[in-house]
């Protein structure tokens, strides 16, 4: 059973899409609420939105299973990435709406969580580490781009409407100042979309853990408001809305590839 797919690219760029998966193992789905079985907190269609990246020579890593099974962008010890703020955990028991993921008394216990980490979390990170090592060895540097998306309004997690483009560099520590400046220049040069850098979304575990500019591994997370490419209610992809959004993402990736 393949847990993730990895396209091996030729450029020093790895695009990780850890919340793109929507599949649920039957034994897990059977214990979930009907609403949660729709996996509403999926980063819907991000692999389609980033499909053009292969033309840039990027490697692309995509998981098969939902973040409700295990969140690949959380630390394996489940320490909160945003202390003092509402968030969801390594094996989420609440949805972004604040509603439960599981039926009463059906949440996973510590042993099951540890088993899920071993079965789903570790293989994704092993593939991620191996591809980063390959690309850095080949090019002398590598950029890890974390592609994410979320509903534009999620009161449980943040106040008001989220900016359209949310770049996170762990407060400027996961990439070089020069790279962050190039990305900021791309966003400031356009007027169609609002944006924030190291705002509510500063980068999750993957960005923070793997980003090491001193070792020539630079990591950036883009959290995109979903209304810029899809219908947030029925989860359908909207090509006409997605096209200009993807064009800006392409500019960001091209800026990331500059050395």
Residue 1 pLDDT level (bands cut at 50, 70, 90): low
β-partners of residue 12 are none
- The residue among 259, 257, 249 whose CA lies nearest residue 52 is 249
Residues 6+ apart with CB under 8 A from 143: 12, 13, 14, 175, 179, 218, 219, 220, 256, 257
pLDDT, tens digit (0-9, with 9 covering 90-100), for 36-52: 999 999 999 999 999 99
Helix (H, G, I), strand (E, B) or coil at 157: coil
Using DSSP's 3-state secondary structure scheme, residue 239 falls into helix
**pLDDT-derived band at 155, boundaries 50, 70, 90:** confident
Confidence at residue 156, expressed as pLDDT on a 0 to 100 scale? 78
Q: Provide the pLDDT for residue 86.
A: 45
3-state class (DSSP) for residue 194: coil
- What is the C-alpha separation between 120 and 128, in angstroms, rounded? 13
Q: What was the pLDDT predicted at 89?
A: 80
Q: Which helix (H) or strand (E) holds 46?
A: helix 46-49
Domains annotated on the chain, with CATH: 4-257 (3.40.630.40)
Largest interatomic CA distance in the chain: 53
Chain-centroid distance of CA 183 in Å reads 18
pLDDT score, position 88: 63
Q: What pTM value is reported for the model?
A: 0.95
pLDDT score for 157: 81
pLDDT of 165 higher than 90: yes
The string of pLDDT tens digits covering residues 16-42 is 999 999 999 999 999 999 999 999 999
Q: Is the pLDDT of residue 79 over 80?
A: no
> Does the pLDDT at position 81 exceed 70?
no
Average pLDDT over residues 175-185: 97
The whole-number pLDDT of residue 18 equals 98
The lowest-confidence range among 8-22, 66-80, 138-152, 196-210 is 66-80
Mean pLDDT score across all residues of the chain: 94
Q: Say which residue, 83 or 141, is predicted with more confidence.
A: 141
Which residues on adjacent β-strands are paired with residue 146? 16, 221
- Decide if 60 contacts 53 (C-beta within 8 A): yes
pLDDT for 247 equals 98
183-to-39, 55, 176 alpha-carbon distances in Å: 31, 20, 11
For the segment 210-228, the average pLDDT, to the nearest whole number, is 98
């Amino acid at each position: 059973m393949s847990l993730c797919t990895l396209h091996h690219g030729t450029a020093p760029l790895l695009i990780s899409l850890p919340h793109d998966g929507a599949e649920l193992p039957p034994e897990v789905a059977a214990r979930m609420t009907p609403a949660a079985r729709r996996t509403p907190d999926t980063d819907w269609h991000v692999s389609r939105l980033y499909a053009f990246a292969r033309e840039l020579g990027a490697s692309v890593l995509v998981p098969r299973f939902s973040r409700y099974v295990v969140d690949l962008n959380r630390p394996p010890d489940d320490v909160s990435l945003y202390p003092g703020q509402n968030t969801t955990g390594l094996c989420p028991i609440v949805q972004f709406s604040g509603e439960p993921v599981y039926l009463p008394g059906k949440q996973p216990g510590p042993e099951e969580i540890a088993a899920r980490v071993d079965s789903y979390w570790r293989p994704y990170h092993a593939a991620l580490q191996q591809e980063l090592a390959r690309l850095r060895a080949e090019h002398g540097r590598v950029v890890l781009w974390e592609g994410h998306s979320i509903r534009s309004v999620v009161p449980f997690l943040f106040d008001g409407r989220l900016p359209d483009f949310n770049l996170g560099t762990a407060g400027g520590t996961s990439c070089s100042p020069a790279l962050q400046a190039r990305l900021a220049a791309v966003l400031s040069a356009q007027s169609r979309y609002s944006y924030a850098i190291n705002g509510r979304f500063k980068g999750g575990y993957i960005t923070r853990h793997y980003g090491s500019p001193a070792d020539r591994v630079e990591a950036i997370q883009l959290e995109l408001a979903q209304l810029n490419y899809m219908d947030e209610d029925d989860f359908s992809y909207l090509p006409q809305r997605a096209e200009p959004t993807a064009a800006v993402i392409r500019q960001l990736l091209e800026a990331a590839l500059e050395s």
